[in-house]
Chain A
Amino acid sequence: MTQEIHFVTGKGGVGKSFVAAALAFRQAKEGRRTLLVELGERSFYKDFFRLESIGYQPQPFQENLDLALWSGPESLREYAKHLIKVESLIKIFFENSVSRNLVEIAPALSELAILGKITSGIRKHGPPMPYEVIVVDAYATGHFLALLRAPLGMAEAVRFGPMGEQSRGIAEVLRNSQLTKVHVVTLPEEMPVKETEDLVRELVGDFHLGPSIVLNKMLDVPSEAPPSDAPVAFAEFVSTTRNRQNEMETRLRDLARPLSKVPLILSDDPMLAVRRAVEVLT
């Protein structure tokens, strides 16, 4: 079975998690066995979808779609278990206060462990990952680039031993555009678009990954002029928004990337909003 990894990133506050969910729903709807993963300690989807809990072990969520929350220390612990196989030793290590701090502070260990977990299915390393698609609700732009760089940096700093080997293996998967896809989410606004342009350049230049772009929260502007009884401030808002959206869309088209647009969805019902976004994503 082939497995694809889809990373979803973008500037903070652009709706990464929402778009990641929509992409995962879309894959599941098309019949692929999909896992939607959040990174870190705190779950966004738990509040967003009003769920009881989300944990490290994938749990069924929708048809064909499972959910999980992967943190660095937990991923590392699983990796340790796979490598060392003696539970009592692992316990000693993770309960030692110094090594606990080391694990928490050094992404060298923690973030590599997360990347290791994400790529474990493809590298056939660790417990089975019975998914065709893994959608990762990844970090915001800067932190995401640091995450992608971590394995290569570590492989250079530590050439030998399991750390070096694992790092090289992970880096290889991340640079393979058949296996790894990146989606950059942006709003039709100056700052996120600028950040998208820079990020796309780095991803193409440094990682040979050609990301696709998702333009989120596009206001559906009526084609005709506003009626005379529309409040002035509102009419102005609509017209400024239209101009700004057009300008930003043109700039993103110049990047020559697959571009999808998700409309601004004025709803507090998360399921409804995600399902609407699924329809428009290509």
Chain B
Amino acid sequence: MSKKVSVFVGPGGVGKTTLAAASALLAAEEGKKVLVLTIDPSKRLASTLGIEGKTDATKVPGFEGPGELWASIVDHQKTFDEFVQKAANRSPGAEKILKNHLYRQLTTTLSGSQDFSALEKLYSSYLEGDYDLIVLDTPPAQHALSFLEAPAKIAALFNEGIARWFRDPKGEEAGFFQKIVGAGTRQVLKILEGLTGSEFIRELADFFRSIEGWQDRLRERTSAVHQLLVSDHTDFSLVTSFDRAKLLESEAFAREIRRGGYRLKTVLINRAFPQWFDAQETGPSAGPYKDLYEGFQGFYQHREKTIQDFSLRLKGEVQVLQLPELTERVYDLEGLRKVARILKKGGWS
């Protein structure tokens, strides 16, 4: 059996993490050895998966075959630090960079760094583990591709061009601008210094000099990850919740993913309707409950139409599935199994 990767993308708060875990559970029930990589799971989901406070892949407690279900949290700082150490071959350069103020600041708040570490963790698990399937939950994204582009952007930042800016080792004392080749670059740096101050530039120079020598490694890694993501081994699922603006956003999202050369398999509209709702049923005949029922009825009928329009526009391109709103929360493996069954009933395969 060849290794597969399934990536869940979408905005925050739509139930992406839970659905990713539920889909992993389904695959494990079918006999596969599955790893689910989550970013920032809720406490309950983390304890359900048995990964609370752990950073290594862990077998999900209570799950009994026929396959295997493993889970892991992407520890952002740890993944990043490990990557730096590996890339620098544990040279003194690595120590230096780990202590650099700017590195700390960048990796804790860097906008693309969470995306980077999620993909790095995915790739190392893909290479090192013997899983049939790896399910990746991703950080909330404003646009779908920001997640996929982050490593390339980080790589571009670390590439030859910028290293060249800071290559002169004596520059720090002598005013390193003077020795840098190219008037254009000199001007760019001057402007940056004007904006930020010389101390910032010094930290930056220090940072880029420390990483010199492993940009190649970073570039190779980035391109390998990209190859994996656009290959036949990987498919994407976009999770969205219902509202008109969100659906419009998802439509743009879906097109963006496909244009990037990735295989978008499914759009999951989560919480499209409540479990109690039945379009065929009639509500209470009088009183405030009648008004309440009819309010919901009108709302969901209208919503159904919006979703149909949405599905129609994406028809033939991807599979669009609707899932009901769960009234219960996932507290344990039984709860997760319940979500998995709903996912399956909704047409997931």
Taking beta carbons and an 8 Å cutoff, which residues of A are in contact with B?
11-14, 40-42, 44, 47-48, 76, 79-80, 83-84, 89-90, 92-93, 96-99, 101-102, 104-111, 140, 142, 146, 149-150, 153-154, 156-165, 189-192, 194, 220, 222, 224, 226-227, 229-231, 233-234, 236-238, 240, 266-268
In the complex, what distance in Å separates the CA atom of A108 from the CA atom of B112? Answer: 12
Indicate if B14 sits at the interface (CB-CB under 8 A): yes
* Known contacts A96-B188, A98-B165, A237-B274; A222/B109 CB under 8 A: no
Chain B proximity of A11: nearest CB distance (Å): 6
- A266–B296 CB distance below 8 A: yes
Chain A proximity of B289: nearest CB distance (Å): 5
- A107–B109 CB distance below 8 A: yes
- B327–A240 CB distance below 8 A: yes
- B248–A13 CB distance below 8 A: no
Chain A proximity of B102: nearest CB distance (Å): 6
- A83–B143 CB distance below 8 A: no
Indicate if B187 sits at the interface (CB-CB under 8 A): yes
* Interface size bracket, B side: 35 or more
Q: A13-B11, A84-B194 are in contact. List 9 more A-B contacts (CB 8 A).
A: A12-B14, A104-B112, A107-B110, A140-B140, A192-B13, A230-B293, A233-B276, A237-B274, A267-B299
In the complex, what distance in Å separates the CA atom of A117 from the CA atom of B72? Answer: 39
Cβ contacts A to B, 22 pairs, < 8 Å: A13-B13, A42-B142, A44-B245, A83-B194, A92-B191, A93-B192, A101-B153, A101-B156, A102-B157, A104-B111, A105-B106, A105-B111, A106-B110, A109-B196, A153-B105, A191-B329, A224-B287, A226-B284, A230-B284, A266-B296, A268-B299, A268-B302
Contact pick for B286, options A40, A191, A227, CB 8 Å: A227
In the complex, what distance in Å separates the CA atom of A72 from the CA atom of B249? Answer: 21
* Known contacts A93-B191, A149-B109; A101/B157 CB under 8 A: yes
- A266–B287 CB distance below 8 A: no
Interface centre among B42, B142, B298 (most CB of A within 10 A): B142
Residues of A within 8 A of B192 (CB): 93, 99, 102
Q: Which 7 A-B pairs have the closest CB atoms?
A: A161-B197, A13-B13, A12-B12, A12-B13, A233-B276, A222-B288, A163-B196
In the complex, what distance in Å separates the CA atom of A98 from the CA atom of B156? Answer: 7
Residues of A within 8 A of B276 (CB): 231, 233-234, 236-237
Interface flags, B155-198, vs A, CB<8A=1, else 0: 01100011001000000000000000000110110011011111
Contact pick for B197, options A42, A158, A268, CB 8 Å: A158
Indicate if B203 sits at the interface (CB-CB under 8 A): yes
* Known contacts A229-B284, A230-B289; A90/B109 CB under 8 A: no
* Known contacts A191-B329, A231-B278; A108/B287 CB under 8 A: no
Indicate if B281 sits at the interface (CB-CB under 8 A): yes
Query: Which residues of B, 298-327, contact A by the 8 Å Cβ criterion?
Result: 298-299, 302-303, 306, 327
- A41–B142 CB distance below 8 A: yes
- B105–A157 CB distance below 8 A: yes
In the complex, what distance in Å separates the CA atom of A164 from the CA atom of B109? Answer: 17
- A154–B105 CB distance below 8 A: yes
Residues of B within 8 A of A41 (CB): 142-143
Chain B proximity of A53: nearest CB distance (Å): 15
Residues of A within 8 A of B109 (CB): 107-108, 111, 146, 149-150, 153
Indicate if B108 sits at the interface (CB-CB under 8 A): yes
In the complex, what distance in Å separates the CA atom of A240 from the CA atom of B275? Answer: 13
Residues of B within 8 A of A159 (CB): 199
Residues of B within 8 A of A146 (CB): 108-109
Chain B proximity of A44: nearest CB distance (Å): 6
- B157–A98 CB distance below 8 A: yes
Chain B proximity of A112: nearest CB distance (Å): 9
In the complex, what distance in Å separates the CA atom of A237 from the CA atom of B284? Answer: 14
- B187–A102 CB distance below 8 A: no
* Known contacts A47-B245, A153-B109, A226-B289; A105/B195 CB under 8 A: no
- A140–B43 CB distance below 8 A: no
- A142–B40 CB distance below 8 A: yes
Chain B proximity of A215: nearest CB distance (Å): 16
Residues of A within 8 A of B191 (CB): 80, 84, 89-90, 92-93
Nearest-CB residue, chain A, relative to B300 = A266
- B197–A83 CB distance below 8 A: no
Indicate if B283 sits at the interface (CB-CB under 8 A): yes
- A13–B187 CB distance below 8 A: no
Residues of B within 8 A of A157 (CB): 101-102, 104-105, 203
Interface centre among B157, B165, B287 (most CB of A within 10 A): B157
Residues of B within 8 A of A80 (CB): 191, 195
